[in-house]
Structure 1
Amino acid sequence: MAMQSRDYRALGPHGFHRVHYTEWGDPANPKVLICVHGLTRTGRDFDFLAAALEQDYRVICPDVVGRGHSDWLADKSDYTYPLYVNDLAMLLARIDAERIDWVGTSMGGLIGIFMASYPGTPIHKMVINDIGPRIPVAGLQRVATYVGQLVTYDSIERMERFMRTIAAPFGNLSDAQWRHMTIHSSRQLEDGRYAMAYDPGIAENFKTLDLKDIDLWPFWDRIHCPTLVLRGAFSDVLDHADAVAMTERGPKAKLIEFPGMGHAPALMADDQIAVVRDWLLAD
């Protein structure tokens, strides 16, 4: 089936904002998969995964507010996880989903951890991609160095060269996949130049953050749903020791590490898609 683009309105502390999402598969399918992207990414990162799963699921891929085609918030201090969680809960009401499976990369994985930790959670099975209950300060510092900078490019080709450098830890992608990622990571400015498709204001909360390891283990320990943890072997955001601990605490997740990449596996390669698909569809 063809991908559909949709929107809904969510309510934050300072008014309503529009959230965009793409939808794949049969809208009447009761099996729903929510795929949520990383900090500066968009829902279109999951096009390849969604295409592989649309016969089995109704697949929903939102652009978290401030990214992609979703609205930018007027008050930048509203870019917080409580708002993201609330927006995604409103999405479930919008699509009338009582039970869901979840794939979350980095930030999307953290949103999933929060949602799965709540009593009565609708999450049935969850895939966490290269994030965990402890976020090392080194990873936070790396992200803080580039998030919020408005860098522009005079052509999509120059932007793609930048993407291939900054996103090299995502793994080996085909030329078509790099171009797909670049196109859907970009927005064209009034002067014709290109910039990343996110609000630089998402970095405002980084400026006031006391950069140190973030400990979310109490949330992880409250999760009970079957969980798969994916990790890039060179990740600086999910340490190997923490990934192993995630198999021993809380949901006692299954762990799969992908060699030759860091933060975060793009989930575009056939072998990565097969890992996610096979685990989600297994009884």
Structure 2
Amino acid sequence: MDYRLHRYRSACGRLDLAARDYPAREAGAPDLLLMHGLTRNSADFEPLAAHLAGRYRLIVPDQRGRGLSQWDPEPSQYRPDVYAQDMLALLDGLGVTRACLIGTSMGGLMAMVMNALRPELAAGFVFNDIGPVLDPAGLARIQGYVGAGRTMASWQEAAARCRAVNAAAFPDFGGADWLSFARRTCRENADGTVSFAYDPAISQGMDGDTPQTVPPDLWPLWDLLDAAPVLVVRGALSDLLSAGTVREMAQRHAGPFAAVEVPRVGHAPILDELPAVAAISAFLREQVPSSRT
């Protein structure tokens, strides 16, 4: 799964941002833009990339303040509408005019904002455990841990920390799973200690009863998806996206709509689970065709 590290400027022109660019084996293969969640980075999609790389071109960015992308000195800019503008700058710089947008959690919010800004862009949408209604319990849980940027002494301690925060979402994970989770979520510092791979200041957008990271009413953005093909992946244990919201999403959508629930997984599925991989593969094959002639 070789990829090229692509560097580009943020939409505001102030920040140096990074993205992984996995090439497709054949010309004309669809472009997929994979956007991670609030505290994650491009490594979050390594498990899904193992299934999709080569068949598609995968563009997997680190949002500002995450991974290899520069931290923003203005924390007020850590918002989905700002990230969406960065994504449009990324695609424009790569010459991509049409892509399937795959978003985990916050990445799904960004996909809806991008569609409102440029409705001709998306060939389809995959929403990973996110929708137009966010359960207050899930938001409160996220508020409880995001921004706790203490340094950890080792990768084993980092794995234990990831487990402490996410154990309810992945009850079947073992020690090796948590270590892999930590290596995708954290970074090793020059002195051998380990830190989460994001700017702790991203937590400022989660403060208060109405987090800045979440637009106040998402149904108008959802309705703008109109007839576009949509797949929703939901963790059966999710505390952020309810099954009832998924049903309403289906009822309000005019175009092709599919949903899959991943058993014994909460917020958010890794997307290497068999039901998720099968659903995403089928969706891309049927709804996001190649442009090869």
TM-score in terms of structure 1 length: 0.91
The runs of 4+ residues in structure 1 deviating greater than 6 Å are none
Q: What per-residue deviation string (whole Å, max 9, x for no partner) do you get for residues 24-74 of structure 1?
A: 123854510111111001111111212211232111111111111111001
Distance 2:65 2:146 in 1: 13
Unaligned runs of 5+ in 1: none
Q: What per-residue deviation string (whole Å, max 9, x for no partner) do you get for residues 123-149 of structure 1?
A: 111100101101122221111111111
Unaligned runs of 5+ in 2: 288-293
Paired residue type of 1:265: P
Paired residue type of 2:281: R
Q: What per-residue deviation string (whole Å, max 9, x for no partner) do you get for residues 159-207 of structure 1?
A: 1122133233146457555433312321234543211000000011222
Distance 2:188 2:234 in 1: 33
Distance 2:118 2:79 in 1: 21
Aligned alpha-carbon RMSD (Å): 2.2
The Cα of 1:107 is off from its aligned counterpart by 0.4
Higher mean C-alpha deviation, range 2-11 or range 248-257: 248-257
Distance 1:123 1:173 in 2: 34
Residue of 210, 222, 225 corresponding to 1:223: 225
The Cα of 1:213 is off from its aligned counterpart by 9.7
1:239 aligned residue: 242
Counterparts in 2 of 1:173 and 1:31: CA distance versus 1, 3 Å? farther
2:278 aligned residue: 274
Q: Does the aligned pair in 2 maintain the 1:160–1:178 contact within 8 Å?
A: yes
Q: Does the aligned pair in 1 maintain the 2:210–2:216 contact within 8 Å?
A: no
Paired residue type of 1:61: V
Q: Aligned runs of 1:63-212 on 2, under 5 Å? A: 63-168=62-167, 169-170=169-170, 172-173=172-173, 177-189=177-189, 191-208=191-208, 210=210
Higher mean C-alpha deviation, range 114-123 or range 261-270: 114-123
Q: Does the aligned pair in 1 maintain the 2:98–2:121 contact within 8 Å?
A: yes
Distance 1:279 1:175 in 2: 32
Distance 2:223 2:244 in 1: 16
Q: Does the aligned pair in 2 maintain the 1:227–1:251 contact within 8 Å?
A: no
Q: Does the aligned pair in 2 maintain the 1:18–1:70 contact within 8 Å?
A: yes
Counterparts in 2 of 1:100 and 1:177: CA distance versus 1, 3 Å? farther
Distance 1:79 1:117 in 2: 19
Q: Does the aligned pair in 2 maintain the 1:173–1:268 contact within 8 Å?
A: no
Counterparts in 2 of 1:228 and 1:141: CA distance versus 1, 3 Å? same
Distance 1:57 1:267 in 2: 16
Counterparts in 2 of 1:176 and 1:269: CA distance versus 1, 3 Å? farther
Structure 2 counterpart SS, 1:116: helix
Q: Does the aligned pair in 1 maintain the 2:85–2:114 contact within 8 Å?
A: no
Q: Does the aligned pair in 1 maintain the 2:132–2:218 contact within 8 Å?
A: yes
2:44 aligned residue: 45
Q: Does the aligned pair in 2 maintain the 1:226–1:251 contact within 8 Å?
A: no
Paired residue type of 2:6: R
Distance 2:11 2:113 in 1: 19
Is 1:56 paired with 2:55?
Answer: yes
Distance 1:39 1:140 in 2: 11
Distance 1:246 1:166 in 2: 29
Q: What per-residue deviation string (whole Å, max 9, x for no partner) do you get for residues 100-158 of structure 1?
A: 01211000111112222345331111100101101122221111111111222111111
Counterparts in 2 of 1:5 and 1:270: CA distance versus 1, 3 Å? farther
TM-score in terms of structure 2 length: 0.88
The share of aligned pairs that are identical, in percent, is: 34
Structure 2 counterpart SS, 1:142: helix
Paired residue type of 2:107: G
Higher mean C-alpha deviation, range 175-184 or range 109-118: 175-184
